[in-house]
Structure 1
Amino acid sequence: MSLALFAEQLLNGVQFGVMLFLMSAGLTLVFGVMGLINLAHGSLYMVGGFLCAAVAAYTGSFVLGLMAALTGAAAAGVLVEMLVIRRLYHRDHLDQVLATFALILIFSEGTRWIFGSFPLFLDVPEILSGPVSLPLGIQYPAYRLMIIVAGLAVALGLYLLITRTRLGIRIRAGESDREMIAALGVDIAWLYTVVFALGAALAGFAGALVGAIQSVQIGMGEPVLILAFVVIVIGGIGSVKGALIGALLVGLTDTMGRFLLPQFFATFMENASATTIGSALASMLIYILMAGVLIFKPQGLFGGTS
């Protein structure tokens, strides 16, 4: 195994982790501030992918597709929060799970009705279609490198938003004591709507970016949503920093595990099932990682911090 191939897989793990961060950052904000379990978050990821693919195909502009994904997912988030979610804040988590699961079915059938049942395909922008030459002789796809840069830029923007702005102060206060900030005159309903729209926009942005790597199809958000829940459990509920660290850990663990373990077992086991055993163990690694973190840090790595 060459050093260049190993480094390329590391970059793939970082890219996967950054995508998971975009998905999980909004989810952890919604849960931390609102105390809401939103199973429909993956549907907003799907909406972003479909909107980007449709608008990019119609206009020929990937940038317009990204803008449509961001605004469309945020608008869908506002409508969902005002029409459905707002009635669930004082209900128990079982009611929230049932209601947001129903939203998954509504989004799936609505998307099928608008865009059809067949997958949509989103082309990588021509300017990002080739490889980029990196040190050690690595030829890495420019588009995947752009995803890494964009995700890290979003992480920096979220950090500045939460730590340096008045809105960020209200978000952090809402995580700590929502009754107190409501008593101080903050419009808590408006704050919840803004947080939910921000989370929806991030999910839509992630779906749009990934749509150029894989096909955009019905139900594409649910597998990613499961991984996003793993991320926020590892990182700590309500912590954007925890979401970033947890997402990178999950992305690197999953990617490097699937790359290294089958080769390891194939090298030291001579039977035909060696590669299969390695692949099966690799698929379990992120859950083993989550269990290990919870044993020593039940609140997650950065639980209770922003």
Structure 2
Amino acid sequence: MTNLFVLQLLNGLQLGVLLFLIAAGLTLVFGIMDVINLAHGVLYMVGAYLIATFAAATGSFWWGLLLMLPAAVAVGLALEWVVMRRLYARSHLDQVLATFGLVMMANEVVKIVWGVSPLSVPLPGILSGSVPLMGPLQYPVYRIAIIVAGLAVALGLFLMVNYTRIGMLLRAGATNRDMVSALGVDIGRLFAVVFTLGAVLACLAGALVAPILSVDTGMGESVLILTFVVVVIGGIGSIKGAFLGAILVAVVDTLGGVFGPILLRQVLDPAAAGQAGRTLAPMLVYILMAVILFARPAGLFGRRG
């Protein structure tokens, strides 16, 4: 049982850092730009397709990852310039409708360009295999690499937000964007930087997960729901909140799905426990969100307003 707990805890941590990469950009876009972007999950999908394309063309995962990053910057800048900046002054309902339409358009474009068959990305040779953890327990090296990479990005974002000029502007914009604009900051340029940073982080998450999941259309929709839960729990506009919220959501989701049926077997027969566990496990994340919002309506690190 201990081995299973450690294994699922690591799986939860790995999912958590991926959720953080997606949620960090989404919380900044919502907190600073006041834009509800339902198409954020599309960027996660695009990152996976980009690395699949570049890795196949170059024959190398690392070259694919290196080429994916500038391509993600270009996608983010283009999307902000063509679509998002026309939504800044619109209502949230307009933003929801426009970005939902963008999701459907993007899925169709992906089907036209890459087809409907799932793509795969081979694991890099140096990160294949497993490492022993405790007793007979082994864990894939690549999943550990995802955790390390996610934590490194989180540390880099923390340093950028707290110790650089652009971070100062991001924090000020999340607090009072009208005052930032009145002080002479080019708010349009700041918005472009924020959106592009979020796009790159979401694409990076998609690229990192591509070797362990199939790359297919619509892969961003399921993760987007959890990402919004992370943003709400952590507090809109807070990078620290996004990180802690992502870890909490991922660990609860992972452990609940595995140990829920096991615990229910203490009071129910195995068949009923399995069915009840599969039904209740997806609800745990939303119960967690409700409890946190009851105690802190603005989220863990959200500003009151």
TM-score by length of 1: 0.96
**8 Å CA contact 1:26, 1:198 repeated in 2:** yes
Sort the Cα spacing of 1:87 and 1:137 in 2 relative to 1 into closer, same or farther, 3 A.
same
Q: Say whether 1:33 aligns with 2:19.
A: no
- Report the residue type matching 2:114 in the other structure: F
**CA shift at 1:24, angstroms?**
0.5
- Report the residue type matching 1:31 in the other structure: F
Match of 1:132 in 2: 131
What percentage of aligned pairs have identical amino acids? Answer: 57
Q: Secondary structure at the match of 2:138?
A: strand
Aligned-residue CA RMSD (Å): 1.3
Could you list the runs of 5+ residues in structure 2 that have no partner in the other structure?
A: none
Which 10-residue stretch deviates more, 133-142 or 20-29? Answer: 133-142
Q: Secondary structure at the match of 1:268?
A: coil
Match of 1:178 in 2: 177
Match of 1:53 in 2: 52
- Report the residue type matching 1:20 in the other structure: L
The runs of 4+ residues in structure 1 deviating greater than 4 Å are: none
Match of 1:260 in 2: 259
Separation of aligned partners in 1, 2:273 and 2:13? 27
**8 Å CA contact 1:47, 1:69 repeated in 2:** no
Match of 2:98 in 1: 99
Match of 1:198 in 2: 197
Separation of aligned partners in 1, 2:12 and 2:135? 18
Q: How do 1:43-122 and structure 2 match up within 5 A?
A: 43-122=42-121
**8 Å CA contact 1:49, 1:69 repeated in 2:** no
Q: Secondary structure at the match of 2:265?
A: helix
Separation of aligned partners in 1, 2:94 and 2:65? 33
Sort the Cα spacing of 1:251 and 1:271 in 2 relative to 1 into closer, same or farther, 3 A.
closer
Separation of aligned partners in 1, 2:60 and 2:135? 34
**1:72-102, Cα deviation, whole Å (9 max, x unpaired):** 2221111111111111111110000011111
TM-score by length of 2: 0.96
Separation of aligned partners in 1, 2:139 and 2:116? 33
Q: Secondary structure at the match of 1:36?
A: coil
Separation of aligned partners in 1, 2:76 and 2:290? 32
Q: Say whether 1:7 aligns with 2:6.
A: yes
The size of the alignment, in residue pairs, is 304
Match of 1:237 in 2: 236
- Report the residue type matching 1:141 in the other structure: P
Match of 2:206 in 1: 207
Sort the Cα spacing of 1:50 and 1:63 in 2 relative to 1 into closer, same or farther, 3 A.
same
Which 10-residue stretch deviates more, 79-88 or 217-226? Answer: 79-88
Separation of aligned partners in 2, 1:271 and 1:141? 30
Could you list the runs of 5+ residues in structure 1 that have no partner in the other structure?
A: none
Which 10-residue stretch deviates more, 275-284 or 140-149? Answer: 275-284
**CA shift at 1:271, angstroms?**
5.7
**8 Å CA contact 1:161, 1:167 repeated in 2:** yes
**CA shift at 1:113, angstroms?**
1.5
